[in-house]
Structure 1
Amino acid sequence: MNKLGKSIKKILIVSGGRADYDLLKPVILKLKKVKSLNIKIGITGSHLFQKHETYKNFIRDKLNINYKIKIPFQSDTNKSILNFFSIGVIKFGKIFSKENFDAMIVLGDRYEIFSAVISAGFYKLPIIHISGGETTLGAIDEPIRHSITKFANFHFVTHQTYKKRIIQLGENPKNVYVVGNTSVENIKNEKLLSKNEIEKKFKFKFQNENYLITYHPVTFAKDYGILDFKNLLNFLSKKRNLGLFFTLPNADPKNFYISKLITKFIKMNKNAKLFNSLGKQNYFSFIKCVDAVVGNSSSGLSEVPSLKKPTINIGIRQKGRLLAKSIINIENTSYRNLNDAFKKIKSKKFKKKLVNVSNPYFKKNSSSNIVKIIKKIKTDGSVLKPFFDLR
């Protein structure tokens, strides 16, 4: 940390969707309480999609949105995503050309966040990056995440392994902090709904056996992970006695196609339901009530273990991440492999393992520690940083 220069005062925090907002929220709420800081919030991406409208979470949490960077998401092709990304770069650039900030905080690895980072880089704005150093070999999020690391000046990571990786990328160890996952720390504080409360709120009845399914496009796979998802749906179609609850995929190439597959499946299977956006309280409450989480979402790896529930992780999208012992990986989605995984989570041996499972992403006081460090950061206004060579 640079001990020279001035403390940062005016900070822009950018959020692109529900997933990063749930992680940023505890940090934002605590930063807002620091009188010496002037916190501004900018939202973009799926927050402003009509189907999602997760910007309402900010209103619910009494957080003022200062900038709405609305970008039309026209289709789920690579061409459309690149157009979306380039418009984001331009629109964020307009904000940075008019407003002066001391720093910008971003989280994760989404392309809409990367558009803000590139613009900030050209305007020489110091960047604070949360959740860098992780690996997801099946998704374009992987190179985007590491690229954001190279633009960023300060890094908050979830695990010591990821700190080592960021240092390996040439970042100064003094500016890399292991703080854990901010969402995980909040699970214990979240007031979860009971089964009865969920049933009344969403007007349905749980089955004896239930699963929460989230499947995103696998952007580095030739078929975007479509075959794996079709195999999963084919397997689930034979299990009419299961309660199946789907959430929408990320706004990535082929997400429209995956959404259509889900919609078609639900029309043909009365035991299945789709939720556009549950919100964190409802999402965690569902996890607590179901038998397992299925799909390829990072939440299944980083959050679900803290609720002592199994995750059946499908395909290669999350390949490379640290795994708790509650996670079952399936790369070959044959009917037999899927059936074996669903059997395994019901075994006495596996259930016994769940009781004592530990979450590698958990650290106490994650968001508080981030805020403490940010308050101490001093900058001379320069984004210059020598490459840190490993010895």
Structure 2
Amino acid sequence: MTRTVCVVSVSRADRAMAAVVGPALDEAGVSAWAMVVDDPLGPDSLIEDHGVRTRRIPAHMDGDGPADPGRRMGALTAAFAEVLADELPDMVVLTGDRYETLAAAGAASLAGVVIAHLHGGELTLGAMDDAFRHAITKLAHLHFPATESAAARLVRMGEEDWRITLAGAPGLDLLMSAPPMPRVDFFSALNITDPGDFILATWHPETLTADGGAAGLEALLKALSDAARPVLFTGVNSDPGGAGQAAYIRRWAEEQTSVHLIPSLGALYAPALAHAAVMAGNSSSGIIEAAAFALPVVNVGDRQKGRDRGANVVDAPADPAAVRQALSRALDPAFRASLTAMINPYGDGRAGPRIAARLAAEPIDARLRQKSFPEERPS
């Protein structure tokens, strides 16, 4: 009987991972399908475009108050459980660290489904996602970390060596294999006039800082105003406080002369990274994907604190002067030139086949299902 594997995508941040791993599983002789939480920013079809059968779940976005994420997590847990009971997969593949992903992990664990976890062992000390990621690690049976230090951290967390496969970041597979898009075609697809050297900006709440990252956002926007360069600003995610910060960005953009708000770039994200002069904000894509293009990145605040980063990342605290200084360095042609031969710590863009090969071959038996702590392992 053919093994079936469900690849879960809870937001636009992990769509590329599912679009990579699904087809790689099919090529390895595994029947793959995707369980996808709808994007509150609008419809997207990246996973379906890569030939993966998809079951969609409503986003359950009902508000931005203190209780709403918990309500959403409960609703998503129930929705995941219903689909898993209907489809009965042998394994589920989960990516990263979001509370929606933890909901999927809980539903899969209670259903007795083997869990494979991508991007475990990383650190993002400024966000509650850090705790969610580690919780998913303890529920997971197989681990596919993206970096060597993340793999080592999983071992220190008590995970057995044989469960761990260093894979790299599967999101890079799509970016690095995509055909280049000429600059004129990129801006034509966005339906805007080429503004010249632009800054690609993305901001998400810092869910563990007292102000939710408001000081960092204000510092970023002040520095962007002072830089007086064109900005393409992508949408804020659905973390607590996201709606308020998105509104703050919209109000700021209305007072600027060359700022374009783009909720989601989707398939245009790779050419955006290729054509940008610099990336700024606090998104994980600035840490992981931007390095594939040797794109200078200004990372503001604590959201990505602790995560491995390449030589292209310039960190700045939540201070306008510090962000201005970091932008000045990132925009220096000499700094860009120094990145020509940089190595991306998140891999070579061939993670999908590594993950699929392990998932296709791994026996689903008592050894896989029954986890132990180091002191309990037989000598």
Q: TM-score range with shorter-chain normalisation?
A: over 0.9
CA contact (8 A) 2:120 2:154 kept: yes
1:31 corresponds in structure 2 to 25
> Which of 260, 281, 284 in structure 2 is aligned with 1:295?
281
Structure 2: unaligned runs, 5 residues or longer: none
Work out the CA distance in 2 between the residues paired with 1:62 and 1:8: 18
CA contact (8 A) 1:185 1:362 kept: no
The Cα shift of 1:97 comes to: 3.8
**CA deviation string 1:227-276 (max 9, x = no partner):** 21012212222343x11110001111111111111211222113000111
- Quick check: 143-152 or 338-347, which moved more? 338-347
The Cα shift of 1:99 comes to: 4.1
> Which of 257, 265, 283 in structure 1 is aligned with 2:252?
265
Work out the CA distance in 2 between the residues paired with 1:284 and 1:9: 33
Question: Does 1:72 find its partner at 2:60?
Answer: yes
Work out the CA distance in 2 between the residues paired with 1:380 and 1:180: 26
**CA deviation string 1:281-300 (max 9, x = no partner):** x1111121111000001110
**CA separation of 1:362 and 1:99: change in aligned 2, threshold 3 A:** closer
Work out the CA distance in 1 between the residues paired with 2:111 and 2:137: 17
CA contact (8 A) 2:215 2:319 kept: no
Work out the CA distance in 1 between the residues paired with 2:206 and 2:134: 18
Identity, % of aligned pairs?
A: 23
2:234 corresponds in structure 1 to 247
2:373 corresponds in structure 1 to 387
The Cα shift of 1:357 comes to: 1.6
1:274 corresponds in structure 2 to 261
Counterpart of 1:384, as a letter, is Q
Work out the CA distance in 1 between the residues paired with 2:43 and 2:179: 23
Query: RCO (CA 8 Å, sep 6+): is it higher in 1 or 2?
Result: 1
1:174-189, aligned counterparts within 5 Å? 174-189=162-177
> Which of 175, 184, 189 in structure 2 is aligned with 1:201?
189
SS at 2:154's partner residue?
helix
CA contact (8 A) 1:8 1:103 kept: no
Aligned length: 376
CA contact (8 A) 2:203 2:217 kept: yes
**CA separation of 1:68 and 1:348: change in aligned 2, threshold 3 A:** closer
1:311 corresponds in structure 2 to 297
Question: Does 1:361 find its partner at 2:355?
Answer: no
**CA deviation string 1:208-240 (max 9, x = no partner):** 431000000101111110121012212222343
Work out the CA distance in 1 between the residues paired with 2:221 and 2:46: 31
> Which of 149, 160, 183 in structure 2 is aligned with 1:161?
149
**CA separation of 1:363 and 1:193: change in aligned 2, threshold 3 A:** closer
The Cα shift of 1:164 comes to: 1.1
Structure 1: unaligned runs, 5 residues or longer: 1-6
2:337 corresponds in structure 1 to 352
**CA separation of 1:383 and 1:360: change in aligned 2, threshold 3 A:** same
1:223-242, aligned counterparts within 5 Å? 223-240=211-228, 242=229
- Quick check: 297-306 or 68-77, which moved more? 68-77
The Cα shift of 1:347 comes to: 2.9
Question: Does 1:190 find its partner at 2:173?
Answer: no
**CA separation of 1:364 and 1:248: change in aligned 2, threshold 3 A:** closer
The Cα shift of 1:48 comes to: 4.1
> Which of 9, 13, 17 in structure 1 is aligned with 2:11?
17
CA contact (8 A) 2:296 2:331 kept: no
The Cα shift of 1:8 comes to: 7.5
**CA deviation string 1:178-217 (max 9, x = no partner):** 0111122333311132221122222223334310000001
SS at 1:355's partner residue?
coil
CA contact (8 A) 2:297 2:312 kept: yes
Work out the CA distance in 2 between the residues paired with 1:83 and 1:355: 47
The Cα shift of 1:122 comes to: 1.4
1:53 corresponds in structure 2 to 43
> Which of 340, 355, 362 in structure 1 is aligned with 2:325?
340
Work out the CA distance in 1 between the residues paired with 2:51 and 2:82: 26
Work out the CA distance in 1 between the residues paired with 2:195 and 2:202: 19
CA contact (8 A) 1:295 1:314 kept: yes
CA contact (8 A) 1:248 1:274 kept: yes
SS at 1:40's partner residue?
strand
